[in-house]
């Protein structure tokens, strides 16, 4: 061996797990600190024989696990409850139960990744991922069926001759010296490895691109992307101006749509006549639609006492003389056309429903301004109900 | 006193143990009858909590035995007898269930005809929730457990003498059959005894919830008893901290599992926010129950989780013994929390009562007596088991 090379360690090979356990015990008791054991599979009891304590990697896991939990919980708190409040499913902004699954996942993610990265970084001494023991006969043997022990030259007791004798005494069948490579090199940055990485990146991206953008659209698997039809806004050469879409004929009306002749007039001279007869069914419909669309402003009883009172332009009472004296058509007109702050409800409420609401408003007006005669009529009705 | 080749020496447990069990049983019976005379309504609920606590330990132990066979585990072989001895109390379930059969009208709202008529949902459920079918179900399930207990453990005992390896194979087959049956029966137990207390409530994960508690309780009972036996020199001398580390790991795993299941159940109901599901949790968040619920989260999940997290906690058997007793008591609290709020809804204003805590005495006493009797008759270690040697030499 060339004397200019720096000695890394002396390695010894053994043939059975019992021998290696025994050798590790003796090496420990001889006082060597910087030594390691390589076996083709985990040998039980080796931790004790080598005098190893508990691995400290658990603390890395714990620390990063808690970091992950804290990070994601604060992140969710900040984004949902502090920075920009969004109501999700009617839950509180800081919806802790909903955050817990994500917190759990992130804890596991941080803990797992930090454990792997921490282990690789500490044991491989990144970025130097090569080790003098790599590519030696020793490493080949212990990756197969032999058991190896390495005493490193950095150990304070290290002496080349003594260590060789010591290992011989343990019953090693082969002893070998391992030297550092002549010049230090980071194999991670060697052109060969970088070229390999580059090829992998290009191959992965290329395959993905070709699969998703080309191969998936090969006939007949083109997902019906190309069809002989005109999509909206597309050009067409059938017509001279190349427009694919044709405007509807003048005066076209949408299905089930009825033009309202007095649209846009604030004080119409003429209004429609109520086409409905206020029976039970119509009034039930009117009540339902009134409570949905009118009551938020005009109140459940139409008296203007709504829950939006004070937060919004007040809906007036519907029991004023002015409105009582309005014709049915006029009330219908206000709903259809809108008035003052009230917008048109023609889009939300159909014609029939609007008339039903008119009928229901009439009911409310009569009920809220009941006269003695009304009371008598009700009494008479309930008496006849009882008799029936 | 016979020594076998593995080095196990059979010693008799001191008579003191049977005496302790007898005193607990006698005190429990006396106080239990007094409690029943004082307030029979409350007593039937308190008895149900303790009955399920007992059921958890004995049936869970049979499950642990089956699990060992089915999984082919070596390390737990030296402890299998401890679980088998606990499971020996399964036939007593037939006796202990009788008082509950006499009180079904107090316990279950679905026995009330007028209440059923008030709701269409209950009428639809009454095909399942009616007294005759209920009794058949409960009885059938207990008989099934007794059958499997009998076949599996008698095979295991026969092996002590014959050392026949075929018996292990037989038990593996039986265990593989038993485990799915256990999953179904424990779900039915959860539905029949706990969920049906609130006849309108439903949660599909509830069986798994009870299962996690049952397994945790039986593991804790196993851990506590085997540590106690080991400390006093009744178990094999080769059993070391590696074995207890594995037990601690299982306790840790099932603590996490309980937390996972309990949270899954809560979160889905909380998120869905359907009144027919949420009322159950609302009951447990009203008045003083709020503090019991918080206590349950802290003591059933957070404390055992962090207590069992480190390597030291699992290998230090003193600490492990303490945690296993802790988990057993918390399982009782869990059952208390599941069952008692349903009672307070029936017009009884809620407060703690001495009646709630007398019935566990009966069941703990019975468990101790049964265990001591079994330990007298049979070896504490399955000396004929082919896996025993490997189990004793277990290394992490």
Which pLDDT tens digit goes with each residue over A370-380? 888 888 888 88
With a CB cutoff of 8 Å and minimum separation 6, the contacts of B112 are: B105
CA torsion B220-B225-B227-B233 (nearest 10°) is: -170
Residues B63/B216, Cβ–Cβ less than 8 Å: no
> Which residue does chain A place closest to B310, by CA atoms?
A58
> Which residue does chain A place closest to B266, by CA atoms?
A97
Angle at B260 between CA B254 and CA B265, to 5 degrees: 125
Residues B199/B126, Cβ–Cβ less than 8 Å: no
| Per-residue model confidence as pLDDT tens for chain B (396 residues) | 344 566 777 788 888 989 999 999 999 999 999 999 988 888 999 999 999 999 999 999 999 999 999 998 989 999 999 999 999 999 999 999 999 998 888 888 888 888 888 888 888 888 898 899 999 999 999 999 999 999 999 999 998 888 888 999 999 999 999 999 999 999 999 999 999 998 889 999 999 999 999 999 999 999 999 999 998 888 888 888 889 999 999 999 999 999 999 999 999 999 988 888 999 998 888 878 889 999 999 999 999 999 998 888 888 889 999 999 999 999 999 999 999 888 865 555 567 788 888 999 999 999 999 999 999 888 888 888 888 888 888 877
B271 touches chain A (CB under 8 A): yes
CA A46 to each of CA A22, B21, B273, B391: distance values in angstroms, whole numbers, following the listed order = 10, 45, 55, 19
Rounded distance, CA B276 to CA B201, Å?
Answer: 6
Total Cβ atoms within 10 A of residue A277: 7
Residues B41/B347, Cβ–Cβ less than 8 Å: no
> What is the CA B11 to chain-centroid distance, rounded?
28
B395 touches chain A (CB under 8 A): yes
Rounded distance, CA A184 to CA B274, Å?
Answer: 68
> Given a cut of 80, is residue A206 above it in pLDDT?
yes
Both tokens of B106, joined, read: 């107090």
Rounded distance, CA B280 to CA B206, Å?
Answer: 12
Residues B223/B324, Cβ–Cβ less than 8 Å: yes
Closest CA of chain B from A97, distance in Å: 6
pTM of the model: 0.72
Helices (H), B163-272: 165-189, 206-231, 241-272
Instruction: With beta carbons under 8 A apart, name residues in chain B contacting A91.
Output: 271
- The confidence score (pLDDT) of residue A127 equals 66
Rounded distance, CA B13 to CA B25, Å?
Answer: 19
Closest CA of chain A from B239, distance in Å: 16
Question: What does the domain layout of chain B look like in residue ranges?
Answer: 2-392
Residues pairing with A37 in the sheet: A149
B128 touches chain A (CB under 8 A): no
* Complete domains list, chain A, with CATH: 1-184 (no CATH), 187-248 (no CATH), 280-372 (1.10.760.10)
- Mark residue A251 as left, alpha or beta (left: phi above 0; alpha: psi -120 to 50; beta: remaining): left
Rounded distance, CA B40 to CA B44, Å?
Answer: 6
User: Among residues of chain A, what percentage have pLDDT more than 70?
Assistant: 96
Cross-chain residue pair A97–B271, CB shorter than 8 Å:
yes
- The confidence score (pLDDT) of residue A357 equals 94
Residues A64/A34, Cβ–Cβ less than 8 Å: no
Cross-chain residue pair B273–A101, CB shorter than 8 Å:
no
Across A81-102, average pLDDT = 88
- Mutant choice from A48, A97, A107 vs B, greatest count of B C-beta within 10 A: A97
**Which run of H or E residues covers position A288?**
helix A280-289
Phi, psi of A178 (to 5 degrees): -120, 130
Q: Which residue would you say has higher pLDDT here, A113 or A259?
A: A113
Rounded distance, CA A235 to CA B154, Å?
Answer: 85
Residue B3's nearest CA partner among B383, B258, B387, B353 is B383
Residue B311 is nearest to which of A54, A90, A101, comparing CB atoms? A54
Question: Residue B335: is it exposed, middle or buried by C-beta count within 10 angstroms (0-12/13-18/19+)?
Answer: buried
> Given a cut of 50, is residue A178 above it in pLDDT?
yes
Total Cβ atoms within 10 A of residue A285: 18
> Which residue does chain B place closest to A88, by CA atoms?
B271
CB pairs A-B closer than 8 Å: 21
Average pLDDT, chain A: 85
Helices (H), B39-164: 40-71, 80-87, 93-96, 98-102, 104-107, 113-117, 120-125, 131-162
CA B13 to each of CA A84, B235, B372, B392: distance values in angstroms, whole numbers, following the listed order = 67, 11, 7, 22
Residues B258/B303, Cβ–Cβ less than 8 Å: no
Cross-chain residue pair B263–A100, CB shorter than 8 Å:
yes
Rounded distance, CA B39 to CA B243, Å?
Answer: 46
> Which residue does chain A place closest to B263, by CA atoms?
A97
- The confidence score (pLDDT) of residue B5 equals 62
Long-range contacts of B385-389 (CB under 8 A, 24+ apart): B385/B77, B385/B80, B385/B156, B385/B159, B385/B168, B386/B163, B386/B165, B386/B168, B387/B72, B387/B74, B387/B77, B387/B168, B388/B6, B388/B77, B388/B78, B389/B6
Strands (DSSP E) contained in chain A are 7-14, 35-38, 147-152, 174-179
Across A321-349, average pLDDT = 90
Cross-chain residue pair A98–B311, CB shorter than 8 Å:
no
* Residue the block writes with tokens 């390999």: A196
Cross-chain residue pair B271–A45, CB shorter than 8 Å:
no
What's the DSSP call for residue A339? B
Instruction: With beta carbons under 8 A apart, name residues in chain B contacting A54.
Output: 311
Rounded distance, CA A49 to CA A21, Å?
Answer: 6
- The confidence score (pLDDT) of residue B347 equals 53
Both tokens of B121, joined, read: 């949902």
B306 touches chain A (CB under 8 A): no
What's the DSSP call for residue A235? B
Rounded distance, CA A94 to CA A89, Å?
Answer: 12
ipTM: 0.81
Closest CA of chain A from B312, distance in Å: 10
Total Cβ atoms within 10 A of residue A370: 11
B268 touches chain A (CB under 8 A): no
> Tell me: the pLDDT tens digits for A212-223?
888 888 877 777
Cross-chain residue pair A97–B270, CB shorter than 8 Å:
yes
Rounded distance, CA B304 to CA B243, Å?
Answer: 19
- Mutant choice from A41, A42, A43, A44 vs B, greatest count of B C-beta within 10 A: A44
Q: What sign does the CA torsion over A279, A281, A282, A284 have?
A: positive
Cross-chain residue pair B266–A97, CB shorter than 8 Å:
yes
Instruction: With beta carbons under 8 A apart, name residues in chain A contacting B245.
Output: none
Residue A152's nearest CA partner among A167, A140, A172 is A167
Cross-chain residue pair B395–A89, CB shorter than 8 Å:
no
Residue B267 is nearest to which of A62, A89, A97, comparing CB atoms? A97
Residue ranges of chain A whose CB lies within 8 Å of a chain B CB: 44-45, 54, 58, 62, 89-91, 97-98, 100-101
B273 touches chain A (CB under 8 A): yes
Closest CA of chain A from B165, distance in Å: 27
Instruction: With beta carbons under 8 A apart, name residues in chain A contacting B252.
Output: none
Closest CA of chain B from A21, distance in Å: 14
- Mutant choice from B75, B262, B271, B285 vs A, greatest count of A C-beta within 10 A: B271
Q: Which residue would you say has higher pLDDT here, A112 or B354?
A: A112
Residue A45 is nearest to which of B263, B271, B395, comparing CB atoms? B395
- The confidence score (pLDDT) of residue A290 equals 94
Instruction: With beta carbons under 8 A apart, name residues in chain A contacting B263.
Output: 97, 100
Closest CA of chain B from A88, distance in Å: 10
Both tokens of A6, joined, read: 């720096």
Cross-chain residue pair A54–B266, CB shorter than 8 Å:
no
A106-115 CB burial, b ≥16 within 10 A, e <16:
bbeebbeebb
Instruction: With beta carbons under 8 A apart, name residues in chain A contacting B267.
Output: 97-98, 100-101
Q: What is the DSSP string of B311-359?
A: HHHHH-HHHHHHHHHHHHHHHHHHHHHHHHHHHHTTTPPP---GGGGTH
> Which residue does chain B place closest to A91, by CA atoms?
B271
Closest CA of chain A from B311, distance in Å: 8
* Residue the block writes with tokens 């058997």: B317
Cross-chain residue pair B311–A100, CB shorter than 8 Å:
no
B260-294 CB burial, b ≥16 within 10 A, e <16:
ebbbebbeebbeeeeeebeebbebbeeeebeebbe
Angle between the N-to-C axes of helices A57-76 and A96-124, in degrees from 0 to 180, rounded to the nearest 10? 150
């Amino acid at each position: 061996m060339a004397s200019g090379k720096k000695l890394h360690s002396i390695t010894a090979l053994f043939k059975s797990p019992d021998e290696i356990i025994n050798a590790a015990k003796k090496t420990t008791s001889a006082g060597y600190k910087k030594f390691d054991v390589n076996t083709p599979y985990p040998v039980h009891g080796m931790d004790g024989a080598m005098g190893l304590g508990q691995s400290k990697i658990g603390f890395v896991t714990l620390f990063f696990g808690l970091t992950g939990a804290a990070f994601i919980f604060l992140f969710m708190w900040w984004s949902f409850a502090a920075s920009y409040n969004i109501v999700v499913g009617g839950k509180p902004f800081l919806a802790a139960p909903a955050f817990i699954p994500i917190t759990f996942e992130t804890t596991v993610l941080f803990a797992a990744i930090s454990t792997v990265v921490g282990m690789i970084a500490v044991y491989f001494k990144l970025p130097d991922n090569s080790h003098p023991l790599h590519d030696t006969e020793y490493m080949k043997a212990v990756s197969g069926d032999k058991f190896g022990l390495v005493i490193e030259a950095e150990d304070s007791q290290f002496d080349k001759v003594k260590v060789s004798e010591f290992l011989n005494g343990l019953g090693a069948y082969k002893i070998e010296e391992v030297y550092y490579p002549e010049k230090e090199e980071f194999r991670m940055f060697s052109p060969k490895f970088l070229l390999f990485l580059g090829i992998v990146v290009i191959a992965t991206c290329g395959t993905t691109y070709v699969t998703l953008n080309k191969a998936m659209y090969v006939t007949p698997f083109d997902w019906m992307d190309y069809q002989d039809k005109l999509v909206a806004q597309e050009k067409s050469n059938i017509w001279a101006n190349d427009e694919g879409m044709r405007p509807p004929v003048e005066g076209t009306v949408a299905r089930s749509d009825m033009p309202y002749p007095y649209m846009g007039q604030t004080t119409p001279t003429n209004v429609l006549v109520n086409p409905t007869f206020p029976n039970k069914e119509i009034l039930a419909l009117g009540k339902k639609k009134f409570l949905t669309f009118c009551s938020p402003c005009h109140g459940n009883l139409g008296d203007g006492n709504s829950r939006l009172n004070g937060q919004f332009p007040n809906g007036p009472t519907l029991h004023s003389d002015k409105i009582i004296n309005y014709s049915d058509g006029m009330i219908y007109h206000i709903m259809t056309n809108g008035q003052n702050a009230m917008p048109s409800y023609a889009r939300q409420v159909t014609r029939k429903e609007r008339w039903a609401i008119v009928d229901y408003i009439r009911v409310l007006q009569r009920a809220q301004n009941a006269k003695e005669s009304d009371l008598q009529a009700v009494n008479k009705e309930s008496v006849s109900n009882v008799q029936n | 006193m016979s020594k076998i080749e593995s080095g196990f020496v059979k010693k008799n447990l001191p008579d003191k143990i049977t005496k302790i069990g007898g005193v607990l049983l006698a005190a429990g019976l006396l106080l239990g009858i007094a409690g029943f005379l004082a307030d029979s309504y409350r007593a039937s609920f308190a008895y149900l909590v303790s009955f399920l606590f007992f059921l958890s330990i004995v049936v869970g132990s049979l499950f642990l035995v089956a699990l060992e066979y089915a999984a082919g585990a070596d390390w737990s072989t030296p402890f299998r007898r401890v679980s088998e001895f606990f499971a020996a109390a399964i036939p007593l379930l037939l006796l202990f269930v009788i008082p509950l059969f006499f009180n079904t009208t107090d316990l279950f709202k679905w026995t009330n005809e007028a209440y059923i008529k008030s709701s269409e949902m209950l009428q639809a459920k009454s095909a399942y929730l009616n007294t005759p079918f209920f009794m058949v179900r409960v009885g059938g399930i207990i008989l099934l457990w007794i059958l499997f207990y009998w076949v599996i453990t008698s095979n295991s005992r026969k092996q002590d003498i014959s050392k026949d390896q075929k018996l292990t194979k037989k038990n593996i087959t039986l265990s593989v059959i038993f485990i799915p049956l256990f999953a179904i029966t424990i779900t039915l137990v959860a539905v029949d005894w706990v969920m049906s207390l609130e006849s309108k409530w439903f949660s599909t994960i509830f069986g798994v919830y009870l299962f996690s508690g049952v397994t945790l309780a039986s593991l804790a009972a196993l851990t506590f008893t085997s540590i106690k036996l080991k400390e006093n020199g009744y178990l094999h001398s080769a059993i070391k901290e590696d074995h207890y580390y594995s037990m601690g790991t299982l306790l840790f795993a099932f603590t996490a599992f309980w937390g996972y299941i309990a949270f899954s159940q809560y979160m889905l109901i909380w998120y869905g926010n359907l009144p027919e599901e949420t009322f159950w949790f609302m009951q447990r968040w009203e008045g003083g129950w709020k503090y019991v619920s918080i206590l349950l989260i802290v003591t059933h999940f957070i404390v055992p989780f962090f207590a069992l997290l480190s390597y030291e906690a699992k290998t230090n058997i003193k600490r492990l013994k303490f945690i296993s007793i802790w988990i057993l008591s918390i399982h009782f609290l869990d059952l208390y929390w599941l069952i008692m709020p349903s009672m307070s809804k029936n017009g009884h204003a809620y407060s703690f009562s001495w009646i709630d805590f007398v019935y566990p005495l009966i069941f703990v006493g019975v468990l101790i007596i049964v265990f001591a009797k079994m330990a007298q008759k049979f070896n504490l270690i399955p000396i004929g088991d082919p896996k025993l040697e490997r189990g004793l030499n277990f290394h992490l």
